[in-house]
Amino acid sequence: MHISKDVLFRELEGEAVLLNLESGVYFGLDPVGTRIWALFPEHQLLSDIVQRIVAEYAVTEDCCAADLLTLVESLSREGLVRVS
């Protein structure tokens, strides 16, 4: 997983806004989504991100994995990340 080079990220009070400079699309993240975004550069495997989120938040592994896949699909569809 790689963050696209044309993406700007700004965090304000625990939430984030992403801007795809190429398409002009804005994307908002809640606090958990913002934490996940921060983990992308550190972890190439989604399973590693799931383990970190499960350790930090009161969420089951299955629920976290499903929600993470949904988020990644949305980010990918908007050109904000590339999944390899």
Q: Domain 2-82 belongs to what topology?
A: Arc Repressor Mutant, subunit A (1.10.10)
Query: Would you tell me how many other CB atoms lie within 10 Å of the CB of residue 3?
Result: 15
Domain boundaries, the chain: 2-82
Q: pTM of the predicted model, to two decimals?
A: 0.90
- Please determine, for residue 1, whether its predicted confidence score (pLDDT) is greater than 80: no
Q: Which residue has the tokens 């044309």?
A: 6
pLDDT tens-place string over residues 23-71: 999 999 999 999 999 999 988 899 999 999 999 999 999 999 999 999 9
